[in-house]
Structures are given as C-alpha cells and as structure tokens.
Chain A
C-alpha cells in the first residue's frame, strides 16, 4: 500500500464531494439544526438563550443518531456505485484496489467531517461566548463519537455497495440498514429479551449493545455527558458490568473501531475478487 496514492485519491474524493450540492445541503441543514437545538432547547423550559455544552450535547444526541447514519449510508453508497466510466478509468491506473478503497473512504469521511464540524464549531463558539467553557471537554468527546458513528456507517455503506453490483439494490439495502439499526434493532432485542427471564435477559440486553453502533454511541455519549442515570437501575448495572465510566467508554469506542475495521476488510476482499 502506497500512502501517497491513498492520499491523492482521498484528496480527489474530498474535492468531488465538497462540491456536491447534497454535501453542501447536508452541511447547512446539520449546522442550522445543531445551532437551533442548542438555542431552542432551553426555551421549552421557559428560558431564553443558549444552553451550556452538556445540555446542548444531550439535546443534539438524537439528531446525530438519526441523521448521521442516514447521510453516511447515502454518501458511501453513492460514491461506491458511481458510473462505470469513472471507476474503470480509476482502477485501470497503476494502483492496488485496496489503495482506491482506502483513498475513497478517507476522502468521503473527510467531506462528512467537514460538513458536520462546521455546525459543531459554530455552535461551540456561540456557547463559549454566551455561557462559558464548562463542559467543553464532554462536548468535544461527543463530537468525536458523532464522527466515529459517521465513519462506521460510511464503511457499512461501502461494504453494501461492493457486495451489490446494482445501484438501486445497494440503495435499498442501505436504507434497510438505516431502518434496522436506528428503528427496528431495539424493538427486536426487547422482544427477544421478553422471551427470557432474569440473568439471561440481562445478558442478551448487554451483548446486544455491541451489535448496534447507534446504541453504542448513544450509551457512550450519555456516559460522557453524565446522563447515564436516565437508564435507572439498568444504567447502574451497565456501568458495574463494564467496570466504571472510563472503561465503559473505552470499551464502546474500541467496539466501534471493530465495527469500522470489519467492513473495510470485507469490502477489500470483495473488491479484489470482482470485475470492475
């Protein structure tokens, strides 16, 4: 693997994506929502003005958990099911397929990062100005988790696109993946856990956490934001099971990295075996 080639492909992918009108629309919508949430959230409680970082991050969490996976899945699928004339010319260059894969993923991720980070930075800047820097570290960790979530669903989209030749099929599976992880997964797990009792049900609930990156980010974010108490006894049990807040977050982030690594390896193997 030549890191210089990967960087050049990434730069090109970034350039193409940041000029894509959908990326720009996402950046604007995301930015407006992030800033809006931090401002409007507290008004519901009868106040007017900005929230501090911890409250803002907690308010943003649901937005991130719904929108980021969807946009990542769409952008990843779009990029890896692009026109044959483009991919043929690119893959006919003296590059390994793995270099193209990593370069495109890196470029796509950077474009996602840029379109998200603008909103986070503007919102962060306003909060610092209005309410001070209390909770800034938690906010930064929350931003990091949001970016990890974007990367997870980006590589999942790449795996979907490389395992399906047809664009429409890839999009269908990507949308199903969004529905599955964001909406259905918890319902299925709750349904399954109802079939069991006591320790078995608890174990199922605990292990199921690692099967869904959306849940992992949700739990890690709530731990970071000191809001795990909203889980009640289950939250306390979770922290006890995982060995405290720090260990829990580290384990969840480590699991997210596994979720990033496996789709990349699978995509690479699929790409090496298929016709372009």
Chain B
C-alpha cells in the first residue's frame, strides 16, 4: 500500500465489506416539521461527529427514499437516529429496517408519540450519548487507497477554476484511478459542449452513446427551465458562457478512460472513473436538477464517496454532513482572502509557483491523510451543509456499466 509518508489509512469495517474513514452518527429528519427537533438533538454533539441530514418533503419520492437509505448506510456512518413528526409520508419503517439490516444501531423517534419537542430532544440526546461512546471505542482496520471512493464537484467557479483547480483535481483523480480507487465526477449540465470529447474516452462505444445522451438530456432540461447551470458570480469571475464553464469543469475528470455512468445512489462496482448523471429522467418536474452545490455533494456521498474534492474560484465555504469536503482554491487572490476555509492553494499554478502535477499530488496525499486522522478545514469549522429535494430517475441501462 502506498502511504506517501502521510500516515497509514485506517477504516471502520462495515457489514457490506466497505470501510469508513469517519464514524458519524447521522440524525435524519423525515420531514421539515421534524428538522428543528433533529437539529436540537444534535447541537450538544456538534463537535463530535453527529451530523444532521434529512428530507423536507411531506409526500413520497423514490429518489429521496433511496438517497436517505444510501446516506444512512454510508461507510462513514456508524449509527443512525431518525426523527419523524409522525404524519409525514416518508416510509420510516423501511428506512429503519434497511439500516438495521446492515448491523448499525438505529432508533426512530416519532415526535407526536414521544410527547412533543422537549421529550423527543431528551430521548434523542440520550441515544446519541450512548452511541457516541460506543463509536468512539470502535476498532479500526487497515484500509487501502484502492478501497476509496472519491467525488469531485466545483462551485463558485471563475475563470481560474478551469486552469488551475479543476485540472489539478483531475491529476489527483488520474493517480487514484491508477491505484484502483473509484472516482466520480458529475453535473452533466456543466458538461454541455464537452459531450463528444468525453464520449471518446468511454470504455466502450455503447457507454459513449450513454454519456452523450446524458449531456443532451441536461441541455434539454436546462433549456426548458430557461437558465443554464450558471450563477451570476461565474460571470463576475470571467466566465462568459455555460460552454466555457463546462470546459473548465470537465478538466476535473482528468485523463483516465471513463469506466461507467451512474445515477445518484448507485455505488461504483469497482475502481475506475465514473460520470454521475444528476439530471432527472423524464419530463421536467420538481424544478432545478440541483438547486445548489450541496445537493450535488449529497449525491456524490450517496454513491459512496468517502471524501469530496470541491474546487472553487470565487470562494465557497461549504462542507457537508457524512463525508469530508476538501476545498481546492483555484484563484490565488481568493486564497489569500479566504485561506482559513481552503485546504489547497491551486492558484500557485497561475502564479508560476507550482505545477499541475505537484498540486495534483498534494490533493491526492491530503485525501489519503483524511483516512489517517487528518481533518479538512470545513470539518474543523463545523460545516455540515445538507440538502435533499424531489427528483425522479429511471435505473441505469445495461450499457452504463460495461463488464471489466
């Protein structure tokens, strides 16, 4: 196992064979009406790996069910507390069963049955205190780089993102893929204009067709909505069009062959490079595919990502519940202004102080160090952003995951 002199990775072994680099208690609210109680339960433990996730909707959605199940059984999660108001449609029974089947401790508090806010909070905190003590004493096992799943996303992009941070993340991805890890890039709405060069990297021609189709779907979806995946700040930072943003974003994928196309909640079956198709299937429903970066981060984590590489130019500060977010700052001016939030200064490349390969290796080693006890800046600052909204997907087709 490569250690690069940055410590040896240790993981928490789960019943499905996957290993976690964190041992988080997930507190999941099952409707917005239970959000406050969930947050109050978690507050005394905010420094102790207790993370709040949840679904705000009152009406059922298969995608949200699947996301919650994948997140509650993520390798970085050691125990789960579900918080229900009592009258929402979310199938709390099925979620609790699925979590219990993995061997994880799980408890559901129904606020209406427990006797209201105060009683639910007391009951929830008692469960967490007990679980936290057990999880803190849990043994770890050696973990290899090839067992990692790593996601990448960019947000608050500017004209520097595609020149420094994104290609540096791509170099790190190339190294991880070579070492047998699974790497996931995403946001088909930000690959508009890159679909043909991307398809040429597919492991099979049939997969290439699927990759192109996923971007065509995104272009249609955004055209119907009237906006691209492009925010006002992108223009401030020098990006003029979605195609320009796409070319920069595409660089995050590196240069490895593309192994497969997955959808939110699909776990890569083996190492390699995967495109995560985040744009819903069918006619346009429920609004924007991802209403902000945090929705994409949650989807990458639901696909099993142990850590997420987040490249920013304008300066995003977000982290996430469940998995650490590594902040790679593409813009040297932003880095100097927001250094406390940034793990990697990729703007050095623009200033001629470092090469792409050097920064790529730095990103790679930083991720490995997260499995040896290191914490990202966003973790140290307590960032645990999370959002989950309505979507609908069809399962992936047979061409999406060609056999090895």
Question: Do A and B interact with each other, yes or no?
Answer: no
